[in-house]
């Protein structure tokens, strides 16, 4: 009787392992399709989002989806919010999820929420120069030039060759010049 029970448990565990393994292979195939083969196919992304909750797969697909939307100048915040929420649901400390949510808050002109979200992304990935640069831009756009400059200094200290750093520094300097009263310029 004990042998039959052991065999039954072994067969059951083998079946469960086979099912999970096959699902993992399917998920891997969908990720490859989303990242490399058919990057604009929404079904591939949907299958990853609604498939097994593999944190790394979801994060890689979310980044690819975001970059694809930014490059095509077609930010779909409804879609990105789903991904950002999913990433932060799986891992409350996921900076990428907060970054996706930041981009949507900014697109919706909600500066306060965008700054709050980018601060959370930076909290969990304090050396990510793109997040720091994003915070500098948000503060620059909100008129807080001091905070913007502090974030730009952090970016420069970490990696002075960060993409677009020079452009944001130039924009900050331009805004500083514009904020100087005319009487000071005449002296």
Q: Which tens digit of pLDDT belongs to each residue from 155-167?
A: 999 999 999 999 9
Mean pLDDT of the chain: 88
Q: What angle do CA 181, 150, 183 make, to 5 degrees?
A: 10
Q: Pick 86 or 36 by higher pLDDT.
A: 86
Protein fold of 30-125: 1.25.40
Q: Which tens digit of pLDDT belongs to each residue from 132-151?
A: 999 999 999 999 999 999 99
11 pLDDT more than 70: yes
**Predicted local confidence at residue 52, as pLDDT:** 64
How long is the chain?
187
**Predicted local confidence at residue 143, as pLDDT:** 94
CA atoms of 173 and 180, how far apart (whole Å): 11
**Predicted local confidence at residue 29, as pLDDT:** 76
48 pLDDT more than 90: no
**Predicted local confidence at residue 25, as pLDDT:** 78
pLDDT category, 95, cuts 50, 70, 90? Answer: very high
38-54 exposure pattern, b = at least 16 Cβ within 10 A, e = fewer: eeeeeebbebbbebeeb
Rounded average pLDDT over 117-126: 98
Are the beta carbons of 52 and 24 closer than 8 angstroms? yes
CA atoms of 70 and 55, how far apart (whole Å): 22
Q: HEC string of 78-144?
A: HHHHHHHHHHHHHCCCCHHHHHHHHHHHHHCCCHHHHHHHHHHHHHHCCCCHHHHHHHHHHHHHHCC
**Predicted local confidence at residue 15, as pLDDT:** 93
Nearest residue to 145 via CA among 167, 176, 122, 116: 176
> Please, which residues have CB within 8 angstroms of residue 24's CB and are 6 or more apart in sequence?
52, 54
Q: How far is CA 50 from CA 2, 53, 69, 96, 113, in A?
A: 40, 8, 20, 18, 27
């Amino acid at each position: 009787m004990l042998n039959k029970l052991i065999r039954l448990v072994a067969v059951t565990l083998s079946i469960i392992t086979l099912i999970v393994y096959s699902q993992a292979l399917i998920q891997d195939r969908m990720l490859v399709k989303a990242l490399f083969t058919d990057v604009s196919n929404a079904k591939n992304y949907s299958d990853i989002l609604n498939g097994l909750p593999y944190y790394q797969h979801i994060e890689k697909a979310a980044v690819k989806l975001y970059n694809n939307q930014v490059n095509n100048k077609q930010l779909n915040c409804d879609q990105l919010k789903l991904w950002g929420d999913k990433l932060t649901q799986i891992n409350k400390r996921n900076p990428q999820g907060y970054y996706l949510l930041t981009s949507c808050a900014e697109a919706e002109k909600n500066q306060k929420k965008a700054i709050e979200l980018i601060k959370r992304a930076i909290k969990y990935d304090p050396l990510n120069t793109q997040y720091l640069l994003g915070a500098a831009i948000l503060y620059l756009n909100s008129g807080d030039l001091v905070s913007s400059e502090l974030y730009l200094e952090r970016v420069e200290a970490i990696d002075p060759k960060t993409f677009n750093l020079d452009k944001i520094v130039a924009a900050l300097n331009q805004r500083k010049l514009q904020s100087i009263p005319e009487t000071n310029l005449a002296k």
